[in-house]
Chains A and B, each alone.
Chain A
Amino acid sequence: MTDLPMTRRGAVLALMAAAHAAVAAQAAPAPPVSTLPGDSVYRLRPRIVDQDGHAVDLASMRGAPLIVSMFYSSCDMVCPLIFETIKQTRMALPPDRRERVHVLMISFDPERDTVAQLKETAAAHGCDSHWTLVRASDADVRQIAAVLGVQYRRLPSGAFNHSSAILLLDRDGRIAARTGKLGEVDPQFVDVLARLA
């Protein structure tokens, strides 16, 4: 503990620091109340960019059901199957209801899935305007996976070891259904989707 010179200036500075500390130590004012339900995935505010280079606000997906999954472009085993399964799942709905259902695909691999790569991958899988493919920072990807309950890790080869899950978010971003069934449509998933669409 150092000995303070008791100059007037020193005293004023010390008092200012103390006042600052006192204010911070008091209960800070309440944050603005969100209208999103407490279990809405949209409470997360990651910085994501789509295949056209536009920043996407996750909460802007609110208002319609959303099919979500995670992938990476250089995956040739399961991820293509995820795309196909989601397509088939949307096709299980009649055209007018199908219209309302959008798809969000988040890449595990921001390093290699650049905006240009995302655009290529979208085209390769025949993704129409209902599909948004996005990239985010490693830290944000970790959070998105955490909130969706997806497990993944990067392998030294640059490939990813990840669990395959297709999720359905309701109009407010709550997880309404989840399936691990790939290559065929999950009837229970479609049931929930039909009710929400």
Chain B
Amino acid sequence: MRARNVLAALLLAAAGLARAGDYAALPGGRFESVLPQGDLPGVSVPVTLAPFELRRTPVSVAEFLAFVRAHPEWRRGTAPAVFADARYLSHWSAPLEPPAGAGALQRPVVDVSWFAARAFCESEDARLPTWLEWEYAAAADETRTDARADPAWRRRILAWYERPGGAALPAVGGQANAHGVRDLQGLVWEWVDDFNALFIAGDSRTQGDPDVLKFCGAGAISIIDRDSYAVLMRVAFLSSLNAADTTSTLGFRCARSLPGASR
């Protein structure tokens, strides 16, 4: 009896390594982004998002540890500076030793760069979500798929912005939203695949100033609705980053396209 259980456990472990991550299916559909999606700045043009899958929680320390165990080229000290900056996994005591302590392994992994996040997602046949996919998933609260008109939704986000980092992060697995996805707001910032498509000018007052030499095509992005400044602050954060950058409040989760759907 005991041998059978041990073998079952070993088989499960083998299966687990091949395809980790618990994904929720999101239907997509018509979505109005806070960022202009049309050709004209300041004009809202709804997009149609293909259905996709999104990890229910951000990638945890435990999961990232398993990843760097299997992919030594992504360990701290080995990963080159062009892909991960000097603060990559800086809170770990050694390249294969995350911070100790009760529940530390279940915290979201932070101090990871865009390249490292991408590599992790590739390792489980996934990718980073696009900005639109992320924005769409995060528009939900516990009961509604689009709660953005509710000031309470915005207040919760702003309350998190007003809490500086530095404190130990809680574990992943907070309250699920209407899509069954957790922790999109209020835990860590998250990378998106097209973070470098979200450029606002370094000086945010130039919204509307068509510095077309600097941003060929349309000038820097300006948001459509002044009330969506909570989302704008997320865009500002993502656009302040370079791909090799890491910060102690920035993690990620993965997404998967569904077969047959085009991105």
Contact = CB atoms under 8 A, between A and B. Distances in A.
Q: Do chains A and B touch in the complex (CB under 8 A)?
A: yes
Interface of A: 1-4, 6, 11, 14-15, 17-18, 20-21, 24-31, 34, 36, 38-41, 43-44, 75, 77-79, 81, 142-143, 145-147, 149-153, 155-157, 159-164, 180, 182-183
Secondary structure of the A contact surface, majority rule:
loop
Q: Which of B197, B214, B221 has the most CB of A within 10 A?
A: B197
A29 B70 CA distance: 9
Interface stretch (B5-13, B24-32, B160-168, B181-189): B5-13
21 contacts: A1-B8, A4-B8, A14-B7, A18-B11, A20-B14, A21-B10, A24-B70, A34-B80, A38-B81, A39-B82, A44-B82, A78-B217, A79-B216, A142-B196, A143-B115, A149-B242, A149-B243, A150-B196, A151-B199, A151-B215, A161-B221
B73 interface: yes
B249 interface: no
Nearest to A157: B39
A28 B71 contact: yes
Interface residues of B, number: 48
A1 B11 CA distance: 11
A21 B18 CA distance: 9
Contact of A4 (B4, B37, B69, B83): B4
Given A18-B10, A31-B72, A164 B4 contact: no
Nearest to B197: A153
Contact of B197 (A152, A159, A180): A152
B54 to A, nearest CB: 19
Contacts of B125: none
Contact of B193 (A77, A78, A142): A142
Given A4-B11, A39-B80, 19 more contacts: A3-B4, A4-B4, A21-B10, A27-B96, A31-B72, A31-B73, A40-B80, A41-B82, A43-B80, A43-B83, A78-B212, A142-B193, A142-B196, A147-B244, A151-B197, A162-B215, A162-B217, A163-B216, A164-B215
